[in-house]
Amino acid sequence: MAGDGALAVRPEIALSWKRSALSGVDPEGRFDSAPVAEVDPTTRLLRAARPVLDEIGVQIAGTELCVLLADPDCRIVARVFDNPVVERHMDGLGALIGSRFGEDHAGTNALGTPLEIRRGVVVNGAEHYLEQFKELSCYGHPIIHPVTRRVEGILDMTCIAPQVNSLFAPFLQRAAADIEHRLLEGARASQQRLVDAFHRVSPGRQIAVTAIGEDLLLSNRTAQEMLDVADHAALRGLAAELRPNQSRTVRIELASGEPVSVQVDRVTGAGGGALFLVEPVRPRTTPIPRGAAVSAGCRIRRDLTRLQEQGGAVAVLGEPGSGRTAAARDIVGDRAARWLDATGIAVRGVDGWLAELVGCLRSDAPIVVEQVQLVPESVHPLLAAALGGGGPRVVLTGCPESDLPQPVSALIARCPDRIEVPALRQRRGEIPDIAQAMLDEIAPGTRLTASALEALTGAQWPGNLAELEVVLGKAATNRSGTRITVADLPVRYQAAGRVARLGGRERAERQAIVDALAACGGNKVHAAAQLGISRSTLYSRMRALDVSA
């Protein structure tokens, strides 16, 4: 058993065993070697690694060693063997092209463990978590992009012996460094191809032209004025569905609400980069006057200004954290208002809270009653009378109308004016401006990078503005300079930009996996059983849908 004598092993191995156990890996079980996906031979990792692997094949001749290369998802994408006997032996252990060797799948090993700790590590025979790998000893080393500092892959050298040779580490470190250097050269070349494609199209064009690569964004003036961060995320999603040198034209709606036609061209040799030509869809009927398409935030501000100038009772409804209190504050304006929160009933009791309400109604100051859905029915007649006028102005705040109990809905219906504060996820086009304005309050002088804004725009925000404030506060603490990058955001928000590109069915599938993992306490074996799929299928879909657990 992997757990026997855990205190005697090296700390990094003990921690890896613990991660493997928490992932639901059975040390006595068999490794599921079924390849999870077809390997793309044109990836920048394989292009950079191929000459290095060819040289390694010559250098390990006669040594009975093998070298494996895995991608950032810990899938084996290339193998180098000394002879067919070693190859057949590794095949029997499941080290196949396309097989995943992450710790959550194969336990402690020299592919998954270096990926977790981002440095080279030796895994001698008995230190493997799965019994079937204990006859092997390996050294694995991550391949880290010199510019982005992302892990691009993992190199592993394996022998059939109780311990590795001390020369494994320096040999593989040099090989990884060679691949990293070639990655840098390849990135420069792919970026240049994207730049060339952009310049061939952009001059003289009166339409929006933008080129988007993995680490590059180019836009002409029209594109800068038309597109925002949320649109960039949508365009990336369109390009992800195309093969190199493939083109397509689709109609989409920008974050501003404007319908456009987008021509997408995947640029060959640009590392997944694509060129986008974006043109507004010209209506054939009477054109809508400019300014008719108003964002949710502008519409709310306009309505609040109108309600501030008017009198009468108002109901402000929306999800928790969406800004209901701020909206109520805008409605009452500069007047000194009396604030009553119905959550206080649980502490003070109905009688004490009711007495304060009666006292407020006897004054002329506006009254704001928050969380009206928590007010007991016995108090409704008094509030209904106050909403009828003749006394101070009353503003109620509460949850969305669809979530209100029927008696509270009847009470809300007595308000002459009603305003629904939209959830933050319904204001994606405004998130960059909202986030920066909020950050100016939290950490003046700090800016959000485009990648961080894209991730924030793609998040779901069940906690709305309150959640965004917490995330920005954490990111401001994590930052090392005056800019907040995507790496400064809490981990669960770092992949949100990619999640935003998923279609409706994929989002539903992703949510089902997230819910199953939560219900099973993160145990992937139990979650797969609950979903009615195999564990390998669960791992595959988690990677494809950016689910981390």
d(CA 114, CA 117): 5
**106/138 same-domain check:** yes
Residue 73 lies inside a defined structural domain of this protein: yes
- Per-residue pLDDT reduced to its tens digit, 459-472: 888 899 999 999 99
Closest CA to 196 of 262, 249, 275, 272: 275
CA separation for the pair 384, 460 (Å, rounded) = 36
Residue 168: predicted pLDDT = 93
> pLDDT tens digits for 371-411?
999 999 999 999 999 888 778 999 999 999 888 999 999 99
Q: What is the pTM of this model?
A: 0.48
More confident residue, 267 or 243: 267
| pLDDT value at 101 more than 60 | yes
Cβ-contact 498, 544 below 8 angstroms = no
Does residue 202 have a pLDDT over 70? no
Q: What's the average model confidence in pLDDT over 492-519? A: 70
Query: Domain containing 22: what range?
Result: 6-186
The answer to whether residues 179 and 153 touch, using CB atoms and an 8 Å cutoff, is yes
Are 167 and 301 in the same domain? no
| Residue 50 within a domain | yes
Total number of domains constituting the chain: 5
Least confident range of 24-38, 249-263, 452-466: 24-38
113-127, 132-146, 222-236: least confident range? 222-236
- What's the 3-state SS for 303-351? HHHHHHHCCCCEEEECCCCCCHHHHHHHHHCCCCCEEEEHHHHHHHHHH
Residue 121 maps to which CATH number? 3.30.450.40
Q: Do 49 and 161 share a structural domain?
A: yes
Examine the domain organization and report whether 18 and 139 are in the same domain: yes
Instruction: Give every CB contact of residue 122 below 8 A, 6+ residues apart in sequence.
Output: 110, 137, 138, 139, 164, 168, 169
Residues of the chain with pLDDT > 70, as a percent, come to 90
Closest by CA to 42, choosing from 213, 243, 242, is 243
| 3-state helix vs strand vs coil in the chain, percent to 5 | 50, 15, 35
Q: Is residue 439 one of the residues assigned to a domain?
A: yes
Let me know if residue 197 belongs to a domain. Answer: no
Which residues 6+ apart lie within 8 Å of 444 measured at CB? none
Do 80 and 26 fall into the same domain? yes
Q: Cα–Cα distance between 448 and 442 in angstroms, integer? A: 12
Q: Do 117 and 41 share a structural domain?
A: yes
Q: Is residue 287 part of a domain?
A: no
| Nearest alpha carbon to residue 224 among 238, 239, 200, 207 | 207
- At 123, phi and psi to the nearest 5? -125, 100
Q: Is residue 193 part of a domain?
A: no
Sort 288 into a burial class: Cβ within 10 Å, 0-12 / 13-18 / 19+.
Answer: exposed
CB half-sphere exposure, 37, CA atoms < 13 A: 18
Q: Is 85 a domain residue?
A: yes
**Could you tell me which residues are beta bridge partners of residue 339?**
368
- Do 97 and 129 fall within a single domain? yes
